[in-house]
């Protein structure tokens, strides 16, 4: 999802400085794995529900992080996808949170109290609550820096980012810095190469080759945790409308063949893509079929609508649950909402707030339904 940067999150009063922390070493049994077309978490092979919070790693109040993860855990959601990136072109002042400053003359990875130590706290808090994290390394969109920040530093274009040697060298340095911090943590569900990578008009080999090379590199750093691409799922058989095509340089079926990508993900925003909300079940079914053929799990990683959340999104959840034994393994709605010490968290229209009637429908009822799926 394309998000808008919230300066207020970076300007909250900074909590006590955290030391650079390596989370507790996890046993092999506690690491989430792919098991055919299902996921196994803590020894349980099942269908799992989850959500997204791009902003949780940018919070500067530890109590807010704990509050959010308490609510997510208590709601029965098992997987949380977070932004593991926050790129800037120049170092911001004050307590603003940033993770990496990109520059052709020398980039800086911020391991300080307003840098990756904020992500450290999210990982530690998730460990305590047994919530599993998908941690993403870069954004296609310009929010929180994204590929555009790399282009500003190293030249080229966003389409050329995937083959830009200088940009890729720094991207790998950043991956190494993040993976090394949490390589032994059971809180990591999976590493994710990018949020919604696209290469408009490119041959699909561009993203395929980049995904193959990058995921193989990550496996040299961490052979235990899963890896996924983070794409929207474009390029899948089933219909002729825009999302099913490969005009964005993404071929979902082809990318499932990348050896070191452990599962497939896809997103769903009919309103943004110019299709009707009834598009949802067919889109889910098409991806489930592709994942079943590849014998890899499928995750509906992002989905949302700007209004009528329960009536629109509940049929999508039901469609995914109906395919729990034939390709679908999990779904993560966009996005989690909560009441923080600074007020309400980001509301982009898709947000489902903790304690709301929408949450009863799309979280409580869905989690209960998932317990009997498959």
> pLDDT 10s per residue in the chain (374 long)?
765 544 334 433 333 333 444 544 566 668 999 999 999 999 999 999 999 999 999 999 999 999 999 999 999 999 999 999 999 999 998 889 999 999 999 999 999 999 999 999 999 999 999 999 999 999 999 999 999 999 999 999 999 999 999 999 999 999 999 999 999 999 999 999 999 999 999 999 999 999 999 999 999 999 999 999 999 999 999 999 999 999 999 999 999 999 999 999 999 999 999 999 999 999 999 999 999 999 999 999 999 999 999 999 999 999 999 999 999 999 999 999 999 999 999 999 999 999 999 999 999 999 999 999 87
**Domain for residue 110, yes or no?**
yes
Enzyme catalytic residues = 196, 302
Question: What tokens does 342 get?
Answer: 């600074």
Closest alpha carbon to 351 in 312, 315, 306, 317: 306
Q: Is the dihedral of CA 152, 155, 159, 162 positive or negative?
A: negative
**Domain for residue 129, yes or no?**
yes
* Domains: count for the chain: 1
148 to each of 85, 95, 155, 232, 263, how far by Cα in Å? 13, 23, 9, 19, 27
Complete edge-to-edge strand list for the sheet that includes strand 33-35? 33-35, 38-41, 44-46
**Domain for residue 125, yes or no?**
yes
- What's the pLDDT score for residue 15? 36
**Domain for residue 149, yes or no?**
yes
Question: What tokens does 212 get?
Answer: 């193959």
d(CA 45, CA 251): 28
CATH number at residue 220: 3.20.20.80
**Domain for residue 193, yes or no?**
yes
Q: Determine whether 302 is exposed, middle or buried from the number of CB atoms within 10 Å of its CB (0-12, 13-18, 19+).
A: buried
**Domain for residue 337, yes or no?**
yes
**Domain for residue 263, yes or no?**
yes
Q: Quote the strand ranges of 89-187, DSSP E.
A: 100-101, 108-109, 132-136
The residue segments making up the domain with residue 136 are: 37-371
**Domain for residue 179, yes or no?**
yes
Q: Which helix (H) or strand (E) holds 346?
A: none
Closest alpha carbon to 328 in 36, 113, 71: 36
Q: pTM score, two decimals? A: 0.94
Angle made by CA atoms 93, 96, 99, in degrees to the nearest 5: 105
């Amino acid at each position: 999802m394309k998000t808008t940067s919230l300066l207020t999150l970076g300007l909250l009063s900074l909590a006590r400085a955290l030391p650079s922390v390596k989370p507790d070493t996890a046993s092999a049994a506690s690491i989430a794995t792919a098991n055919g077309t299902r996921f196994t978490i803590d020894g349980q092979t099942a269908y799992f529900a989850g959500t997204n919070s791009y902003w949780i790693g940018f919070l500067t109040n530890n109590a807010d992080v704990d509050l959010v993860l308490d609510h997510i855990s208590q709601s029965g959601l098992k997987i949380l996808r977070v932004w593991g990136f926050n790129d800037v072109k120049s170092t911001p002042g004050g307590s603003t949170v940033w993770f990496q400053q990109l520059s052709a003359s020398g980039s800086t990875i911020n391991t300080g109290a307003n840098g990756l130590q904020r992500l450290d706290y999210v990982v530690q808090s998730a460990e305590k609550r047994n919530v599993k994290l998908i941690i993403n390394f870069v954004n296609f969109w310009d929010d929180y820096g994204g590929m555009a920040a790399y282009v500003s530093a190293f030249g080229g274009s966003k389409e050329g980012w995937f083959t830009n040697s200088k940009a890729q060298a720094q991207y790998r340095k950043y991956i190494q810095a993040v993976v090394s911090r949490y390589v032994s943590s059971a809180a990591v569900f999976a590493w994710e190469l990018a949020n919604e990578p696209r290469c408009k008009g490119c041959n699909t080999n561009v993203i395929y080759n980049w995904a193959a090379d990058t995921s193989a590199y990550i496996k040299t750093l961490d052979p235990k945790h899963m890896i996924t691409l983070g794409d929207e799922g474009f390029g899948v058989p089933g219909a002729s409308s825009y999302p099913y095509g490969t005009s964005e340089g993404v071929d979902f079926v082809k990318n499932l063949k990348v050896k070191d990508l452990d599962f497939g993900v896809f997103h769903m925003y009919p309103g943004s893509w110019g299709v009707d909300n009834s598009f949802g079940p067919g889109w889910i079914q098409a991806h489930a079929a592709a994942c079943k053929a590849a014998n890899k799990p499928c995750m509906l990683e992002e989905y949302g609508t700007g209004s009528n959340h329960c009536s629109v999104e509940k049929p999508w959840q039901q469609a995914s649950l109906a395919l729990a034994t034939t390709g679908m393994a999990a779904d993560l709605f966009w996005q989690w909402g909560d009441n923080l010490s600074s007020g309400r968290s980001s509301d982009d229209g898709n947000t489902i707030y903790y304690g709301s009637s929408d949450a009863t429908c799309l979280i409580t009822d869905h989690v209960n339904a998932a317990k009997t799926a498959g």
